[in-house]
């Protein structure tokens, strides 16, 4: 009976020892397998045509040779990813690029990462482009001249383009040409013209651009014309009597009612001008006669020639020109 009990105990000991020996022969157990924990995106919202950056994350560091993570997109027409990304040996993360395309409406795309039978997902919202600004080539222009504006989107326009409505707060002074513009597919900007009318006083006009209920504005100052020059032809005369032709020029077309310019001569006894000349509405120049008369050398202390200054003045701006009248011998 005692021998039988001893045999049973010995067999039991052998049974207990077998697993221990097996584990010892198999080496240390790797309980820290590189399990995929998450996939993240930054940003999670982006305008179509602009990229986002994805990142896969492991619970533990990648083993020798790295860890390959498979990638996919639920809508490759809107956002694409590489087929896979490898987490380098000893690392826990790896980044990848998410390429997006312009869209007409905001669209959610699911980005999936898979490794070792584990799947993780993240959602990227691809936005339609927004109107970011409207700018003017010049914010101050003389009425009657054209100006130019430009609308800009925060991302490329989608297929078929993006229509931007244009308007002016004072179409009698400045109006957009045309009333709307289309930003071409893939482009971010589009230019347009602004036609202005002559004005007697400065007028501030607001140019408004609207797309997808987003409104942007810019201000244009339309200014009246100013006197820009005074010329004479001829500028040197010798005849006993005659006229020279003077001409005043404006920086832009004269407004309704015309533009009056005051005139004067420094030596009225030798050359005379009318008191004023009016540039007609819509015109930029007006001519007048400078009537001169000969004089004897030595008259009024003038030896051989008189330099007569003709002056034109309008709205505080003065221009001059000199007419040389030679004396009689």
Range with the poorest average pLDDT among 5-9, 116-120, 147-151, 225-229: 5-9
Name the token pair of 285: 């120049």
Distance CA 193, CA 207 (A): 11
pLDDT tens digits, one per residue of 249-308: 999 999 999 999 999 999 998 999 999 999 999 999 999 999 998 777 666 556 678 899
pLDDT: which is higher, 34 or 110: 110
pLDDT: which is higher, 239 or 173: 173
As a dihedral over the C-alpha atoms of residue 137, residue 142, residue 146, residue 151, rounded to 10 degrees, the angle is: 30
pLDDT of residue 278: 98
Distance CA 212, CA 131 (A): 8
- Tell me if 126 sits within 8 A of 107, measured CB to CB: yes
Beta strands in 128-258 (DSSP E): 131-136, 140-142, 147-153, 162-168, 174-177, 180-183, 189-196, 203-211, 214-223, 227-233, 236-237, 241-250
Please tell me whether residue 317 adopts helix, strand or coil conformation.
strand
pLDDT of residue 294: 76
Q: pTM to 2 decimals?
A: 0.78
Is it the case that residue 5 has pLDDT exceeding 50? no
Distance CA 36, CA 61 (A): 10
Is it the case that residue 19 has pLDDT exceeding 60? no
Residue whose entry in the numeric block shows the structure tokens 């995106």: 41
Distance CA 323, CA 60 (A): 95
Task: Give me the DSSP letters along 18-37.
Answer: HHHHHHHHH---------EE
Is it the case that residue 74 has pLDDT exceeding 80? yes
Distance CA 241, CA 69 (A): 101
Query: Among residues of the chain, what percentage have pLDDT more than 70?
Result: 88
Distance CA 78, CA 99 (A): 8
- Classify residue 77 as exposed, middle or buried by CB count within 10 Å of its CB (0-12, 13-18, 19+): exposed
Q: Which of 121, 130, 113 is nearest to 46 (CA)?
A: 130
Residues 6+ apart with CB under 8 A from 121: 39, 110, 111, 112, 113
pLDDT of residue 240: 86
Is it the case that residue 77 has pLDDT exceeding 60? yes
Cα angle for residues 76, 82, 85 (degrees, 5° grid): 145
pLDDT of residue 10: 42
Q: Which of 190, 174, 171 is nearest to 140 (CA)?
A: 174
pLDDT tens digits, one per residue of 141-179: 999 999 999 999 999 999 999 999 999 999 999 999 999
Residue whose entry in the numeric block shows the structure tokens 């007609």: 280
How far is CA 60 from its chain centroid? 47
Is it the case that residue 136 has pLDDT exceeding 70? yes
Instruction: Tell me the backbone φ, ψ of residue 299, rounded to 5 degrees.
Output: -65, 130
pLDDT tens digits, one per residue of 30-62: 444 679 999 999 999 999 999 999 999 999 999
As a dihedral over the C-alpha atoms of residue 80, residue 82, residue 87, residue 89, rounded to 10 degrees, the angle is: -170
The domains found in the chain, sorted by start residue, are 36-127 (2.60.40.10), 131-223 (2.60.40.10), 227-326 (2.60.40.2310)
Is it the case that residue 14 has pLDDT exceeding 70? no
The continuous run of DSSP H or E covering 116 comes out as none
Cα–Cα separations (whole angstroms), residue 26 to 15, 31, 70: 18, 14, 31
- Bond before 281 cis per omega within 30 degrees: no
pLDDT of residue 181: 98
């Amino acid at each position: 009976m005692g021998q039988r009990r001893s045999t049973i105990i010995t067999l039991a000991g052998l049974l207990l020892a077998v697993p221990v020996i097996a584990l010892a022969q198999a080496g240390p157990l790797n309980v820290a397998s590189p399990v995929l924990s998450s996939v993240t995106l930054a940003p999670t919202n982006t305008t179509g045509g602009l990229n986002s950056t994805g990142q896969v994350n492991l619970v533990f560091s990648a083993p020798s040779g790295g860890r390959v993570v498979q990638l996919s997109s639920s809508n490759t027409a809107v956002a694409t990813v590489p087929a896979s990304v490898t987490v380098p040996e000893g690392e826990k993360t790896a980044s990848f690029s998410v390429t997006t395309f312009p869209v007409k409406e905001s669209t959610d795309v699911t980005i999936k990462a898979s490794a070792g039978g584990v799947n993780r997902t993240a959602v990227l919202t691809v936005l339609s482009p927004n109107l970011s600004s409207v700018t003017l080539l010049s914010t101050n222009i003389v009425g009657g001249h054209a100006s130019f504006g430009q609308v800009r989107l925060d991302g490329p326009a989608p297929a078929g383009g993006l229509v931007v409505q244009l308007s002016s707060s004072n179409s009698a002074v400045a109006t957009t040409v045309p009333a709307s513009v289309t930003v071409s597919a893939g482009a971010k900007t589009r230019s347009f013209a602004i036609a202005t009318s002559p004005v007697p006083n400065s007028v501030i006009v607001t140019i408004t651009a609207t797309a997808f209920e987003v409104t942007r504005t810019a201000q244009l100052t339309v200014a009246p014309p100013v006197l820009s020059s005074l010329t004479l032809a001829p500028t040197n005369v010798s005849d006993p009597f005659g006229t020279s032709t003077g001409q005043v020029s404006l920086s832009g077309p004269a407004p309704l009612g015309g533009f009056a310019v005051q005139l004067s001569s420094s030596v009225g006894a030798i050359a005379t001008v009318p008191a004023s000349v009016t540039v007609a509405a819509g015109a930029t120049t007006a001519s007048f006669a400078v009537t001169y008369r000969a004089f004897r050398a030595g008259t009024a202390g003038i030896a051989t020639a008189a330099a007569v200054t003709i002056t034109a003045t309008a709205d505080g701006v003065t221009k001059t020109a000199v007419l040389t009248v030679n004396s009689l011998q």
